[in-house]
Structure 1
Amino acid sequence: MDDEPAENISGGDAGGGRFTAFDGEDADTRAAAVVAELGDLYWEKTYGGRDAFECLVRTVLSQNTSDVASQPAHDALMERYDAPDGDLAEALADAHRDELAETISSAGLYNQKSETLIRLADRICGEYGGEDAFDAFVAEGDPEEVRGALLHMKGVGPKTADCVLLFAGGRGGVFPVDTHVHRIARRMGLAPPDADHEAVREALEADVPAEACGFGHTAMIQFGRDYCTARKPACLDGPEACPLYDYCDRVGVDELAESVVDPADAA
């Protein structure tokens, strides 16, 4: 695949970055080998350079919904509030909640998300003086300090914080964990079957080379859509149906019974 699909809100044009080459020949863990295979199957990219506050906005809109639903909400928000010479954070801090909720309604949970975005914008303006200074903090600050600051913002969870670090800050060694990554890593045996999102992140970041974590995240999401779905993974159609079959423990997948349960329940 030459390009990331636009509907992959964690990558594609929204993720920015540049295509690069990754040498997976020396992969010394199964997780590293899996990511190398994903890179060959999809794409290998180095991320970074996106506006940090817009990345924060985009990721909040994507929470608990599909990219198909959140992308139009993001586009509508940017069209209404992002003036060419303005400050998006200032514009959202001053936004009327009902108007913002209507603008982002396609993303679902729009009342909650509009409150979150206004609250975050107000904090960015008050604590950093606007989106430019916030961008600089994300790009230049100590990664642990940046992550800690993001996690102290109400409405920002680990995945949102990690996406900002990756796509805006360009930080290597950051492997955001969404529902696809959480499912696949445990199903394949790359993390314990009962691991929560943070434990999966720690396992992947420990076992995947820093320069491969970014595209490991975006390519694994695409793999989850194309092959390793929640209810009917491709392996149920036989070993030849899944390109990563030989790397996978298939925890929670019974190929004979053609049944699938969450890896934690299988354990």
Structure 2
Amino acid sequence: MSEDPEPSMNISGGESGGGIATEFDPSTAETRAERVIDRLGELYWQKTYGGQDAFTCLVRTILSQNTSDKASQPAHDDLLERYGGGNVDLAESLASAERSELAETISSAGLYNQKSEVIIETAEWVREQFGSARAFDAFVKDEEPETVRETLLSVRGVGPKTADCVLLFAGGRVGIFPVDTHVHRIYRRLGIAPADADHEGVRSVLEREVPASKCGFGHTATIQFGREYCRARKPACLEDPDACPMGDLCDQVGVYPETNEIVDPSDA
């Protein structure tokens, strides 16, 4: 590809987020899920991830919960400006932060009172369990993925998507396909995952049917596809049956062009 169009307002960090351009051969796709991922790669980007600082990535992902990347990115930038920089250990800095001041700093991310509490508690946990953000980073990058995931899931406010994003963007672990609201909606709508599958059910299907090396960019490219085409309330196929680049691969579960109706796939 001649250029990497990954948006900067993306939890992956965009072009500066530690990803490395890669290539694949679409003719080798063995499942419908892989064919979807291959087409997304041709439409957007092909990249492997890793290299972000683990604690910074964890904080960034907590800020993104229940809001858009566009809203949470400024909060993340403001947080780093106030509490990071230089040789400051971010975990130490945030563990000592005054909650109301942190809440004000991250207010653009929404749910700032709740998120400020979670961030401070998480920073205290990192300081107590690992000693520093640097040691936590080494843990995320060097330990077995399942050990890292289970450890992260034991922390209040850290769910499966947050843990998986840390493993992907910081740890650079292949075979990790974080499931956010876009991914959850799209692969059930496509008919690749069961219509009633929860987030973990969708993750299980994708990590089984998509090659490990394609899971990372599959996650980020699916999010972009959800923003541009397979939107929750107005998917492109409602306006024009030929507008969606996945039209021939999609079962349109819960999408009814003839009546202009959209329902959750589980209700279809």
Q: What TM bracket, shorter-length normalisation?
A: over 0.9
1:27 corresponds to which of 14, 20, 29: 29
1:232 corresponds to which of 234, 247, 251: 234
Q: Which amino acid aligns with 2:96?
A: D
Q: Deviations over 1:227-263 (max 9, x none)?
A: 0000111111233100110000000001111111000
**For the residues of structure 2 that align with 1:83 and 1:35, how far apart are their CA atoms?**
37
Aligned length, in residue pairs: 266
SS for the counterpart of 1:192 is coil
2:254 corresponds to which of 238, 244, 252: 252
**For the residues of structure 2 that align with 1:108 and 1:200, how far apart are their CA atoms?**
27
Percent identity (aligned): 66
Contact 1:174/1:205, CA 8 A, preserved across alignment: yes
2:134 corresponds to which of 118, 132, 135: 132
SS for the counterpart of 1:239 is coil
Contact 1:181/1:220, CA 8 A, preserved across alignment: yes
* 1:14 Cα deviation after fit: 5.8
1:47 corresponds to which of 30, 46, 49: 49
Q: Which amino acid aligns with 2:73?
A: Q
Gaps of 5+ in 1: none
Q: Deviations over 1:132-158 (max 9, x none)?
A: 110000001000000000000111000
* 1:66 Cα deviation after fit: 1.1
Partner of 1:183: 185
**For the residues of structure 2 that align with 1:109 and 1:30, how far apart are their CA atoms?**
38
**For the residues of structure 2 that align with 1:238 and 1:189, how far apart are their CA atoms?**
20
Partner of 2:92: 90
Gaps of 5+ in 2: none
* 1:127 Cα deviation after fit: 0.2
**For the residues of structure 1 that align with 2:6 and 2:240, how far apart are their CA atoms?**
27
Superposition TM-score, scaled by structure 2 size: 0.97
Partner of 2:119: 117
Partner of 1:108: 110
Superposition TM-score, scaled by structure 1 size: 0.98
Partner of 2:155: 153
Partner of 2:101: 99
Which segment is superposed worse, 143-152 or 3-12?
Answer: 3-12
Q: Which amino acid aligns with 1:141?
A: E
**For the residues of structure 2 that align with 1:238 and 1:68, how far apart are their CA atoms?**
27
* 1:189 Cα deviation after fit: 0.7
